[in-house]
Amino acid sequence: MDYVPHTNEDRSEMLKAIGISGIEELFSDIPSEVKLDRKLDLPPPMSELELRKHLSELAGKNTTTDDMVSFLGAGVYDHYVPSVVKHIISRSEFYTAYTPYQAEVSQGMLQSIFEYQTLMCELTGLDISNASLYDGATAIAEAATMSSRLTRRQEIIISQAVHPEYRSTLKTYAYNLGLEVKEVPFTDGSTDIEAIKELVSDKTACVILQNPNFFGCIENMALAAEAAHEKKALFVACVDPISLGILAAPGEYGADIAVGEAQGLGIPMGFGGPHLGFMTCRQQYIRQMPGRVVGETRDNQGRRGYILTLQAREQHIRRERATSNICSNQALCALAATVYLSWLGKQGIKEVAEQCMAKAHYACEELSKIPGVERMHRAPFFKEFAIRTPVNPETLSKGLLESNILGGLPLGRFYPELSDSLLIAVTEKRTKEEIDGLCRALEGLV
C-alpha cells in the first residue's frame, strides 16, 4: 500500500531516507536557464459549475465542419459518419477496453478485431490484416521496415507523389535503421514509372506508391508492381480505402503489402486524431507483419473462439526480434471502421466512392471556368484535384474563410515549386449548392 506523507516531519523523513536535503535536489540535473523560476500563472480554483462554463466558452472559440463547408483533404477527409457508428463504439465494454493483456478473456474485443481484419482483407484483396496501426504515416514506415526484413535489403524507393508527411515519417524511421530512402519524381501529377525502372535494383527492398496519390491522381500501380517484382523487390500500395469501392484492389494489381489511412471509414477528423493505420499483406509474409493478428479457433468443447495468433501478447519480449516498436493497436478506431463497412456493405461503399468522384469532377469543371483558374494535372483523379490560381493560394484560403469555407490546401507548403496551386477535396457530403458557393466565392477573390 502506498504511503502518502501528511506532515512536514513525514516529508523530512522521506527526504532523509533517500539522502537529499530538499525537493530541489531532485531537479538539480535540469539546467537553470530552462527552469521557470517562478510560480505557475494559473487562475484561482473554480467550482464545478464555473469550470464547466469556462470550458464551454473556450470550446466555443473553435470552428468545426458543422459550422463551415470543408474542401480540405490531403489525408484527412470530411466523410459522413453514420450515427450507428457512435452508438456502437460508445458502449462501455468497447470504449473502456484499451488493450486486453489476458487476451483470450476478452472474446468480444477479439471478435471485433477479427471482423475488422476480415473486412480489410476483403477490401484490399489480400490475405492477412493486422489489428491496426496508429495512422497512414506509420503504416507506410512499418511496411518499409517489414519489406527490409523480408528481403534483407536496405533500399526503399518511394514516389514524391506520396503524402509528404508520410515520406517524412518514413525517413525518420529509416535514419537509425540504416535504410536508404530514394525518391522518384512525378510528371503531370503521376509518378514517373520509367524513373522507377531505372532506380530499382538488387538492393531494393520495396517500391512504395500511393493511389490516389497526394494530388488525387490515379497511378499506374500494375506497371510499378511489375517494375519492383522484376528485381525481386516488394511492392507496397498506399491506398484510400473509400476509393476501393470503384478502383482496383491492391491484390488485383500485384501489391505485396497494402497500407493506408482509414480515417474515412467512420472516424471523425477529430482536430487531427486519433486515426487508423491499416496494413494487409500476402499470407507468406505474416510472420514479419507488425502488430497483433487475431485468429479464429475452437475450444475443447468445439465452441468457436478467438485468440492472438503467432504471439501470446502484443509486446515483444526481445527487442532485437521485434517486428515493431509500436505495440498498441487502434482498437476503438478499428471498431468504428468495422461498423462503418458492415453498415454500408459493398454497394454502399461503391455508392460513396461514386458520389465523391462525381462531385469532385463537377467541382473541377466549374472551378476551371473561372478566368485565370486551371486544373494543374491531366491525369485521371478520384475525389481530390489541384488547381492553379492567379492569386496566392494562402491569400485565397484566408479569403474563403470569411465565407465560412475551408477552401483547400496550398501546395506550396510541401512543394515550393507549386506555390501557385491549391489542393481541393470533395467528399459525398458536399452538395451542388456548396460546390457552387465555393466557385462564386473563389471567383470573387480571383
Whether 327 and 314 have beta carbons less than 8 Å apart is answered as yes
Domains of the chain: 69-79+345-445 (3.90.1150.10), 83-340 (3.40.640.10)
Q: Which residues contact 342 (CB under 8 A, 6 or more apart)?
A: 115, 119
Written as nine digits, the cell of 38 is 517562478
Percentage of the chain exceeding pLDDT 90? 74
- Residue 54 to residue 41: CA distance in whole angstroms: 17
Q: Which of 343, 149, 342, 144 has its CA nearest to residue 238?
A: 144
- At 342, is the secondary structure helix, strand, or coil? helix
Residues 23, 25, 29, 34: what is their CA dihedral angle, to the nearest 10 degrees? 50
Highest mean pLDDT among 83-87, 100-104, 110-114: 83-87
Q: What is the predicted pLDDT for the residue at 402? A: 92
Predicted local distance difference test score (pLDDT) of residue 11: 77
Q: Tell me what the pLDDT averaged over the chain comes to.
A: 92
Transcribe 25-72 into DSSP letters.
Answer: GGGTTS-GGGS--S----PPP--HHHHHHHHHHHHTT---TTTSEE--
- Provide DSSP, 4-32: ---SHHHHHHHHHHTT-SSGGGGGTTS-G
Q: By three-state DSSP, how is residue 181 classified?
A: strand
Distance CA 407, CA 386 (A): 12
Helices 136-151 and 164-177 pack at an angle, to 10 degrees, of 40
CA–CA separation, 66 vs 70, rounded Å?
Answer: 9
pLDDT band at 317 (very low <50, low <70, confident <90, very high): low
pTM above 0.85, yes or no: yes
| Each residue's pLDDT tens digit, 149-182 | 999 999 999 999 999 999 999 999 999 899 999 9
106 grid coordinates: 476478452
